[in-house]
Structure 1
Amino acid sequence: MFGRGTNTTEPKEPYGSSSSSEVAFPAAVNSTDMEQQKTEEVEPIPPPVTLDWDGPDDSGNPRNWPFIDRCFQTIPPAMFGFVVTFASPVYTTATQQIQDEFHVSFETALVPLTTHTLGFALGPMLAAPLSEMFGRKYVYLSSFALFLLFTMASGLAPNIAALCVFRLIAGCVGAPALAVGAGTIGDVWDTHKDGGLAAMFFIMSPFLGSSLGPVFGGLISYHKTWRWTMWLVLLIGGPMYLWLIPFMKETYKPAILKKRAIERGLPLPPKPKGSEAIKKILLVTLFRPVHMLMTEPIVLALSLYTAFTFGVLFLFFAAIPYSFGTQYHFDRRESGLIFISSVVGIILGALTFGIIDRTFYKRRYEHAIANGRKPAVELRLLGAMVGSFGLPIALFWFAWTCKASIHWIVPALSVIFFGFGMMLIFLSAATYLVDTYQYLAAASAMAANGLLRYGFGAVFPLFTIQMYTGLGIGLATSVLAIISVVLMAVPFVFYRFGKYFREKSAYDTLKD
């Protein structure tokens, strides 16, 4: 789901060792020249040093670890991703307290949500060089500790400006847990064989964190101040960090092989020059994703679709308290509990994707491989085709039932369909992008998706209240529903014409 490739290549001499070489002389040579050549010391040029596994059954390869170990290594990135995204909307139900304490408008009180989410878009640029230099484990160790530190600083913020800045930094240093986590799953599992559930668990965790944040934030801010929403993040993240970190293993192949080579006294490959390493990192994490958004229809269309659904989720962090507060006089605790519907929808969406993957996709994948053919990668879009119906149903339902004359449970149930559709669309888009683009191109495609997704998530809350007060709940949500109807075409178009766009791509894509 997150990466392609096999565990090893054909067995070879480890780390580029070579046998002694012979020196060949020309057939026609005079005795003087031969004497000179005999006295000269000939130094053979060593071949390039290559680090690789000892063989397909190498116990150091994370994919060969015992099943229990691999399951445990899946937990940290999922839990870190959950806590980081939980922290993003956790305080939104307490914005009235922030307004009162800092004497700011409702829109200004929402800006820390925007800055924290914006950090998710910027953070992967920090994660890439750190993981290249130190491995994945140390990215988790350093970035999550800094995330907890700046979350604590947010809780101690003396004014709204400081809160915005601390939340931005917390988002930036927390984002590597999201960016590097996908790589950890790919290190440990072969998602075409036995890692589908692990990958789905990892993807689902940030969405659950985003949906549960307002639930617990509303409950705790009802009895405490908004600062306790930050202390809640620390109370969850701190003990989890201390418990998980000592048992984590490094899963990044270059880091494992480098450590092994040092222990065996073997030479290491030459390090790239600093400028070349920085250029490569910027290419993969910034320039190439932006270029793919501008030139690759597959990346642009699917990223826009997932970004819109993510933007609507973050819009709901302001729209649901406003809508249920004005129509049903819900307080922040009751408004937060509405997001339980989103959690139910996310779980149902993940289960539906698993069923589709196990029945339709896996059967056709195995049948194609058995017949020496490549499976149609567009089969990955079946989940998005199903989920695309969930968004307009949910939004139109919410738009015209969230009114005082209709019981509150009716619009609350509509959010289930939203979570269901959102989860299916994102899972399908992610697997389709990774299976379509190869190696670094796949990483850049997902980086492009994340850049647009978190950009929408940062911006949408800023215009929510103006939109809902100006147009009304029904018309404002209907505008979103109409956009979702237009975007429904995306998975269907690429299911039908995806092969054409793949073959026209300037990047390394899966060709039929």
Structure 2
Amino acid sequence: MSTHSDPPTRPDSEHSEKDLEKDEDEGSRNASTVPAFTSPANEAHESPPNQCSDWNGPHDPENPLLWPRWKKIYHTFIPAIIAFVCTLASSIYTPGRDSLAAEFHVSAEVSILPYCFYLLGLACGPMIAAPMSETFGRRAVYLTAIPVFALFTLGGGFSNNIAAFTICRFFAGVFGSPGLSIGSATLADIWTPAERAVPMALYITTPFLGPAIGPLVGGYVAAAKGWRWTQWTLLFFTVAGLLPTVGMKETYKAAILKKRAKSLGLPTRTTDRTALQSCAFFLRSTVTRPIRMAATEPVVGAFTAYIALNFAMLYGFFTAFPWVFAEAYGFGIKSIGLTFLGLGVACLVGCGLVILFSKLIFKRQVARSHKEGRGGKVPPESRLYLAMIGGLCLPISLFWFAWTARPGIHWISPVIAEGFFGCGNLLVFMSATMYLMDFYGPLYGASAMGANNISRYLMGFAFPLFVVQMYEGLGTAWATSLLGFISLALATIPFLLYTYGARLRAASQYQRST
């Protein structure tokens, strides 16, 4: 289960294009339900004495899959905390927009730009971070990118005009993105597919939890110290996220073997690809192929549009809801931040539901498949139950919020409605990720999620630019109801795919990669 797709293992630069595709598929197999770019570390075997291209037998102590559990948990915490910090950074600024607008003498619309351009940075960053992690290893990217993220955050706090602050926020997003773009790959490096469900569920929850906590922290900081302190407070969180990486060990197989080969003076096949080749393969697997799949594959196109809209609404709410609660209840900056706790609690509930589904329902389906002689194979459509539940929660929450966020109705009602939206959003995203991976397999599933990754942050970038004007023009009830009607129409997607999924698999141009 992962929110972000990454490129596969890099073969020798002299291989043919066909060989490169073969290695790309091979490197994707270790990802199970996550698009990740790891080598097939599970299949360890003795390497010839003049090579260093695989583990030294099935008990190689440097194999991350064989690490003790405490060490795996430690290395799971690192990408999780970084993902939390870089998504916290997205919304922590929003409560300070008014004070920034007053200081720089800009309009409310212009004051939203630093928020939007940070999201654009999150969309662009993986194009650098993912191939670099394949060339230099995961640890090197974390230790390089996050300090640069901190420097741009610091620069943002010292900016003396809106243009400088917006540019700093964009590059902070670019360099903060490794927690999102290579986090799932890091977990795939250290957890076997059988162990991966719970760590992945917990990890994926952090990018949902971060934006929900941001307005709460930012509200109190902006009220007491002004907008600049939202950036400097973020530095404290960054330090907390960066310190554990100092003790981090490399998890990427190719990087470990490259270091071993260098120390022994031996050649290695797995790490000869250049950074330029890595970028080329990353662009193919997460840009060109995903765009083609989104345009030609109904399953990819449908879920891409669905999830992109859900994320657009989520990030739009961080700019629209302060207006709603100020108009309806006269809330100040601190109280508005507290209302987003509903989203935070909902993320934890959604994570618990995903874990329960994996442990109680899906596990039984796999066991039944073994018992019936089907080798543990379960139809991908069994992954859609969570999306069905989440898809119904979304329009319910939007209509609930639309007609209860008004004077005379207690504020707790729209806050609970927010919670239903947050939970439904997470359930749809998790379910779609697992379904696409099961539907297309690791290689094409990663590309399918690549289309999703690009679209949701681009939509998140664009939506806040007009959502406040929409609420001011239509009012809370009809603006949110409009989104509710759209969400209600899209909620049919999981049910339609459950019904016609087998036919779509048979007609797909992209046969499932093994």
Same fold (TM over 0.5): yes
Q: Is the 8 A contact 1:124 1:285 kept in 2?
A: no
- Following superposition, the deviation at residue 219 of structure 1 comes to 1.2
Task: Kindly provide the amino acid, as one letter, of the partner of residue 184 in structure 2.
Answer: A
Q: Distance in 1 between matches of 2:48 and 2:133?
A: 22
Judging changes above 3 Å, is the alpha-carbon distance between structure 1 residues 6 and 366 closer, same or farther for their aligned structure 2 residues? farther
Q: Is the 8 A contact 1:137 1:250 kept in 2?
A: yes
* 1:444 equivalent among 437, 444, 447: 447
Partner of 2:489: 486
Partner of 1:166: 168
Partner of 2:355: 354
- Following superposition, the deviation at residue 72 of structure 1 comes to 0.7
Partner of 2:383: 380
Partner of 1:400: 403
Structure with larger RCO (C-alpha < 8 A, sep 6+):
2
Q: Distance in 2 between matches of 1:111 and 1:10?
A: 50
Q: 1:204-251 deviations in whole A, cap 9, x for unaligned? A: 001100110011111111111100000111011114312x02211111
Give the fraction of aligned pairs with identical amino acids, expressed as a percent.
40
Task: Kindly provide the amino acid, as one letter, of the partner of residue 498 in structure 1.
Answer: G
* 1:477 equivalent among 470, 480, 501: 480
Q: Is the 8 A contact 1:502 1:510 kept in 2?
A: no
Partner of 1:303: 304
Partner of 2:282: 281
Task: Kindly provide the amino acid, as one letter, of the partner of residue 87 in structure 1.
Answer: A
Q: Is the 8 A contact 1:143 1:177 kept in 2?
A: no
Q: Is the 8 A contact 1:435 1:510 kept in 2?
A: no
* 1:190 equivalent among 184, 189, 192: 192
Q: Distance in 2 between matches of 1:110 and 1:448?
A: 26
Partner of 1:123: 125
Partner of 1:14: 47
Give the 3-state SS of the residue equivalent to 1:271 in structure 2. coil
Partner of 1:202: 203
Q: 1:85-114 deviations in whole A, cap 9, x for unaligned? A: 000111111211011011111111111111
Give the 3-state SS of the residue equivalent to 2:42 in structure 1. coil
Task: Kindly provide the amino acid, as one letter, of the partner of residue 14 in structure 1.
Answer: S
- Following superposition, the deviation at residue 335 of structure 1 comes to 0.7
Q: 1:437-458 deviations in whole A, cap 9, x for unaligned? A: 3333233222211111111111
Q: Is the 8 A contact 2:444 2:513 kept in 1?
A: no
Partner of 1:507: 510
Task: Kindly provide the amino acid, as one letter, of the partner of residue 235 in structure 2.
Answer: L
- Confirm or deny that 1:52 pairs with 2:54: yes
Task: Kindly provide the amino acid, as one letter, of the partner of residue 453 in structure 2.
Answer: G
Q: Distance in 2 between matches of 1:277 and 1:184?
A: 17
Give the 3-state SS of the residue equivalent to 2:441 in structure 1. coil
Q: Distance in 2 between matches of 1:359 and 1:6?
A: 28
Partner of 1:85: 87
Q: Distance in 2 between matches of 1:162 and 1:333?
A: 27
* 1:113 equivalent among 111, 115, 119: 115
Q: Distance in 2 between matches of 1:403 and 1:281?
A: 48
- Following superposition, the deviation at residue 296 of structure 1 comes to 2.0
- Following superposition, the deviation at residue 278 of structure 1 comes to 4.0
Q: Distance in 1 between matches of 2:61 and 2:87?
A: 34
Judging changes above 3 Å, is the alpha-carbon distance between structure 1 residues 419 and 475 closer, same or farther for their aligned structure 2 residues? same
Aligned ranges 1:30-45 → 2 under 5 Å: none
Q: Is the 8 A contact 2:443 2:513 kept in 1?
A: no
Give the total of aligned pairs.
Answer: 477
Judging changes above 3 Å, is the alpha-carbon distance between structure 1 residues 274 and 137 closer, same or farther for their aligned structure 2 residues? closer
TM-score norm. by structure 2 comes to: 0.89
Q: Distance in 1 between matches of 2:502 and 2:386?
A: 18
Task: Kindly provide the amino acid, as one letter, of the partner of residue 218 in structure 1.
Answer: G
Partner of 1:325: 326
Q: Is the 8 A contact 1:16 1:51 kept in 2?
A: no
Aligned ranges 1:229-268 → 2 under 5 Å: 229-242=230-243, 244-268=244-268
Q: Is the 8 A contact 2:52 2:260 kept in 1?
A: no
Q: Distance in 1 between matches of 2:507 and 2:251?
A: 35
Task: Kindly provide the amino acid, as one letter, of the partner of residue 82 in structure 1.
Answer: F
Q: Distance in 1 between matches of 2:433 and 2:68?
A: 27
Task: Kindly provide the amino acid, as one letter, of the partner of residue 197 in structure 1.
Answer: V
- Following superposition, the deviation at residue 411 of structure 1 comes to 1.3
Q: Distance in 2 between matches of 1:383 and 1:7?
A: 31
Partner of 2:422: 419
Q: 1:399-445 deviations in whole A, cap 9, x for unaligned? A: 00111121212212211111110111111111222233333323322
Task: Kindly provide the amino acid, as one letter, of the partner of residue 77 in structure 2.
Answer: I
Q: Is the 8 A contact 1:117 1:168 kept in 2?
A: yes
Query: Aligned-pair RMSD on alpha carbons?
Result: 1.9
- Following superposition, the deviation at residue 295 of structure 1 comes to 1.9
Partner of 2:78: 76
- Following superposition, the deviation at residue 56 of structure 1 comes to 3.1
Partner of 2:35: none
- Confirm or deny that 1:460 pairs with 2:494: no
- Following superposition, the deviation at residue 276 of structure 1 comes to 4.3
- Following superposition, the deviation at residue 393 of structure 1 comes to 1.0
Partner of 1:22: none
Q: 1:242-283 deviations in whole A, cap 9, x for unaligned? A: 2x0221111111111222222333222283467644432321
Structure 1 unaligned runs (5+)?
18-48
Judging changes above 3 Å, is the alpha-carbon distance between structure 1 residues 327 and 273 closer, same or farther for their aligned structure 2 residues? closer
Judging changes above 3 Å, is the alpha-carbon distance between structure 1 residues 263 and 438 closer, same or farther for their aligned structure 2 residues? farther
TM-score norm. by structure 1 comes to: 0.89
- Following superposition, the deviation at residue 6 of structure 1 comes to 6.0
Partner of 2:147: 145
Q: Distance in 1 between matches of 2:428 and 2:480?
A: 20
Q: Distance in 2 between matches of 1:200 and 1:442?
A: 18
Q: Distance in 2 between matches of 1:6 and 1:376?
A: 24
- Following superposition, the deviation at residue 7 of structure 1 comes to 4.1
Q: Distance in 2 between matches of 1:291 and 1:115?
A: 26
Q: Distance in 2 between matches of 1:449 and 1:165?
A: 25
